[in-house]
Amino acid sequence: MTVQKTAHIIAHSHWDREWYMPFETHRLKLVELLDRLLEQVEEDMDYGSFHLDGQTLPLDDYLEIRPDKAPAIKRLVEQGKLIIGPFYILQDEFLISSEANVRNVLIGITDAEKWGSYAKVGYFPDSFGNMGQAPQIILQAGIDTAVYGRGVKAVGFNNEVGGENPHISKYSEMYWQSPDGSKVLAILFANWYHNGMEIPENKQEALAYWNERLPKVEAFASTSELLFMNGCDHQPLQTNLSQAIKVAGEVRPDIQFKHSSFPEYIEAVKARIPADLATVHGELRSQWTDGWGTLVNTASARVYLKQANVEVQTLLENVAEPLAVLAHLSGASYPREELVYAWKTLLQNHPHDSICGCSVDEVHQEMMTRFAKSKHMAEALMTRSLQQISDTRDTSIFAKYKGAVDFSGENGQAAPFLVFNTSGYMRSGAVKVVVDVCRRYFSDLHVPVQQAYKELQSYRPDQLVIINEHGMRIDAEITHKGLAFGYDLPDDRFRQPYWAYQVEVTLFVEDLHAFASRGYALVSSEHIAVNTDRALKNGTGHAASVTTAHSIVSMDGKLLENDKLKIDIADDGSFSVEDKTTGRTYTKLGLYEDTGDLGNEYMYKQPDGEAALTTEGLLAQLEVVENSELRGVVRLTHRWMLPLQADALLEEEIASMTPFKDRKAQRVAEQKEVLVQTTLTLERGSRALQIGSTIDNTVLDHRIRMLFPTTISAEAVTVDSIYELATRSIQPEKLWTNPSNAQHQQSFVSISDGEAGVTVANIGLHEYEALADGTLAITLLRGVRELGDWGVFATPEAQCLGTNATELSIIFHDGDVISSKAYVEAYQLKIPWVTNQTTIHQGDVPVSFVPFQWQGEALAVTALKVAEKSNDVMFRLFNTSLDKAALAVQGELFTNMYKSNIIEANGESLERVGDSWTLAIGPAEIVTVGLQQRCSK
């Protein structure tokens, strides 16, 4: 029996919140669209439903202009006429953090439920590649179907599938499986998400339209259910759709035409799924294409955006939220609404055309304001939590120690401070903290503040040292900073400004537990047995010289050495590293490479026949910035002459819309100096060399990378991706013809031969390339002059002129990145140590405190927060390996622990073994554990 085919017509508009026009210009179009939709539903009783692009944020944007329409919107959602969610925004999956991807789901579902319901479909219509853990993530949210447009097989603007390649599906329907084994039904927009747009009402035109379009869908559909997307980017509502669908049935009576929705379409497809559907696995990055249309170089477009994003993400995920949990455990209320606001503000920068840096300049200018707003909220919450925590800590142990002689000439109190490790892992390292030695409040002044400032400038404290809670002296460098303005904002009175004399303390903190804190105090050395040549010298303005045999920098700055690494710096600023653990030596690391770029914000294109320029042989000026047994810092300066820009042909090629890969422009012969400063930092006991680069970019149309020729022979690299350490082949697939094989990364890329490895970690540098000779190349800067895609849009700010500062860390280790735990150090690079000066007072909590401890091999932490709908603490991790793992958690503050998921549902309690709750974790599994408190507030 022949089954009649059904054409499911889904009305929609793919809503890029901002792109080739600024946000407010796009928003005005959105208001017009939804105004017309409300009218349409009232006027046309046959109108089915409208799919709001899988998002909830457009409703917020609309209702800011039309607040009176909220009841009507809610009614449409409840009636199934307006299909929203499950996401807050349509994100770029690879350029935001793992946790940000999850918060997009959690916030989207939470918001959608307030309106009535949401579509249970993982909707990724235009993501520039898809994360391999998407099936596991959406399954944890109760969603078993994904819809996407890219990654399986991408060709230009149409994403078609076909051919003999075993890595792709011959159908538009397939299964998609995550590394942990989670599997969902996946539907590819084989003819893109505009294949049913602007359906004709005229019978003759309609017949030609459907005769052309039906076969294109039938060629890939595995069932009799055919998908037609009635809309495209910012597509206005088709107001005659009901009549056009009626006409379609008249001209093609062999097809059932239906104004449908994704829930209806998916249900129909599931009822007819054939047995021979293919299964695609893991990341869908268009690996099996020619490599020219992957849009991967959005990872290096406007690097400053990515850096700002990582900074704010880190403040929220790894600082503000964990500190808010610690304050909550100490009795403070959890700032749930404030954190959601900060997250929403940040997520508004995560749509694919936003965070990818592939929009007009006005879009990215506004993004920087949003980053600042989210950052300021995170910082304010952090400050408040620190005060709440510090108030509960018993610092009275330091009351018996004297501080410096204060402004009045009398002995002051010790100055206690707390150091927090919010990274989620045990941590050691050099910590810098600014401490007020003494303060003079304006309210206590008997002279004008300006006069007081002059009088207080002559003050210098006597010799100072750092002690821990046991009164033991801690190795530290103490440097004068002088007078500074400060103020208190008491809860019970007006603001209190003051002058403070400050010193900067650098101390080494060793083996501080995850989410734990430790107390220290700045005291006068008069009461502490101390080697006085290591104390602060009164009046010198500098730290005491510590140039013993154990100092890290020697040989006039050309050698940095600790017990793990020996780094020799060459005249051209490159360096060789001897890994004392493995005995391996790596040479010519840290050279800069520059090439021209004729591409756009989406894709990189080097001029044909051009040879790359490098800093090899270019003399670098060397300066020792810091040197002690705790830390050594060397600064290198290059004055690099680079081509000024591309020649005039590039402008002509852009104006004529010559495809970027076909451009023939070259760079001009004229050159201009680019100042490049590099800082190399090595700390005591570290197997990582931190590398800071500051590039004063004065030239156009180019890309700068840093090169790390490891010479390690390997077929693949391990790359930090979304809830996954992905294994990616160094050699691209045979179909790949693009000379560049740049790829996305989150926090690091690592190469290993099983015996030794090198991991390059970064802060906001999301583009790497692994070369066949074992070189890891990290993009630091890319400057282009146009948006690209479908039109001609100039983007002068995408040239990234001016100061561009970047941070890397190169970690040398045995084994691979997991077995050596190098991934932990890579994750910690971006997470700051947190410190807070406090007063001497009694409290209910010890000055040094560990709230809970956890153990588990190969596990990575992504969140510590309080649940959205309860006061349970949510602790999220994932298994970095493809082997089983075991988690054990101990904590006296908790009465029960249970397995949850990304939407924070209550699950079965963990097994209790002795004083630990334990959980078996599968390969590559994402796990959320709920911790129930003894006294929940």
User: Is the same domain home to 419 and 506?
Assistant: yes
Work out the pLDDT band at 167, boundaries 50, 70, 90: low
**Tokens 């004529």 appear where?**
656
Model confidence band, residue 306 (pLDDT cutoffs 50, 70, 90) = very high
* Closest residue by Cα to residue 688 from 860, 560, 835: 560
Per-residue pLDDT, averaged over 665-673, amounts to 98
What is the H or E stretch that residue 58 is in?
A: helix 57-65
CA dihedral 649, 652, 657, 663 (to 10 degrees): -10
Which domain range does residue 244 map to?
10-289
Q: Is residue 834 part of a domain?
A: no
Query: Which tops the pLDDT comparison, 546 or 110?
Result: 110
534, pLDDT greater than 90: no
- Calculate Rg over the CA atoms of the chain: 30
CATH number at residue 758: 2.70.98.30
Q: What's the structural domain count of the chain?
A: 4
Give the domain-ending residue among 523, 549, 575. Answer: 549
> DSSP code of 290?
-
pLDDT the model gives residue 152: 84
For all residues of the chain together, what is the average pLDDT? 94
Looking at the structure, do residues 674 and 714 belong to the same domain, yes or no? yes
Structural domain includes residue 755: yes
Residue 263 carries which side chain, given as an amino acid letter?
Answer: P
Asked if residue 911 and residue 787 are part of one domain, the reply reads no
Q: What is the pLDDT of residue 539?
A: 32
Q: Which of 276, 204, 221 is nearest to 8 (CA)?
A: 221
pLDDT tens, position by position, 187-219 = 999 899 999 999 999 999 999 999 999 999 999
**Statement to judge: residues 23 and 151 lie in one domain:** yes
pLDDT, average across residues 263-272: 98
Band of residue 230 on the pLDDT scale cut at 50, 70, 90: very high
- Evaluate whether residue 329 is within a structural domain: no
Q: What is the pLDDT of residues 757-786, one digit of tens each?
A: 999 999 999 999 999 999 999 999 999 999
Residue 311 lies in a domain: no
Query: How much is the pLDDT for 153?
Result: 65
Whether residues 822 and 888 share a domain: the answer is no
On whether residue 842 sits in a domain, the answer given is no
Residues 676 and 793 in one domain: yes
In a domain, 377, yes or no: no
CATH at 140: 3.20.110.10
CB 114 within 8 A of CB 82: no
Based on the fold, state whether residues 33 and 168 are members of the same structural domain. Answer: yes
Residues 86 and 60 reside in one and the same domain: yes
431, 835 contact by CB (below 8 A) = yes
Q: Is 68 helix (H, G, I), strand (E, B) or coil?
A: helix
pLDDT tens track for 129-146: 999 999 999 999 999 999
pLDDT for 264: 98
The identity of residue 499, as a single letter, is: W
pLDDT reported for residue 249: 98
- Adjacent-strand bridge partners of 576: 568
Q: Name the pTM for this structure.
A: 0.96
pLDDT at 529: 56
Phi, psi of 770 (to 5 degrees): -100, 120
Residue 231 CA to residue 11 CA, distance in Å, equals 6
In a shared domain, residues 537 and 586: no
pLDDT at 729 over 90: yes
Domain presence at residue 55: yes
pLDDT for 411: 85
**% of residues, the chain, pLDDT over 90:** 92
Q: 418 with 510, same domain?
A: yes
> Does the pLDDT at position 159 exceed 90?
no
pLDDT score for 541? 33
For 596, residues 6+ apart whose C-beta sits below 8 A from its C-beta are 606, 607, 610, 643, 646, 666, 667, 701, 702, 703
CATH of the domain at 858: 2.60.40.2220
Which of 499, 523, 549 is the endpoint of a domain?
Answer: 549
Q: Is residue 394 part of a domain?
A: no
Q: How far is it, in rounded angstroms, from Cα 268 to Cα 469? A: 67
Do 685 and 650 share a structural domain? yes
Phi first, then psi, for residue 448 (nearest 5°) are -55, 150
Query: What pLDDT is recorded for position 160?
Result: 45
Contact 394, 406 (CB under 8 A): no
Tell me the CA end-to-end span of the chain in Å, nearest whole number: 64
**pLDDT 10s digits, 887-931:** 999 999 999 999 999 999 999 999 999 999 999 999 999 999 999
Closest by CA to 713, choosing from 771, 768, 673, 669, is 771
Q: How many CB atoms lie within 10 A of CB 808?
A: 22
Q: Pull the structure tokens for residue 543.
A: 């730290």
pLDDT reported for residue 175: 95
Residue with tokens 């408190």: 933
The candidate with the shortest Cα–Cα distance to 741, out of 733, 750, 751, 752, is 733
pLDDT single digits (tens) 645-656:
999 999 999 999
Neighbours of 443 (CB within 10 A): 9
Question: Of the candidates 530, 549, 568, which is a domain's last residue?
Answer: 549
The enclosing domain of 425 has a CATH number of 2.60.40.2210
533 pLDDT band, cuts 50/70/90, is: very low
Residues assigned a catalytic role? 126
Cβ-based neighbour number of residue 542 at 10 Å = 11
731 and 634, same domain (yes or no): yes
- Mean per-residue pLDDT, 745-750: 98
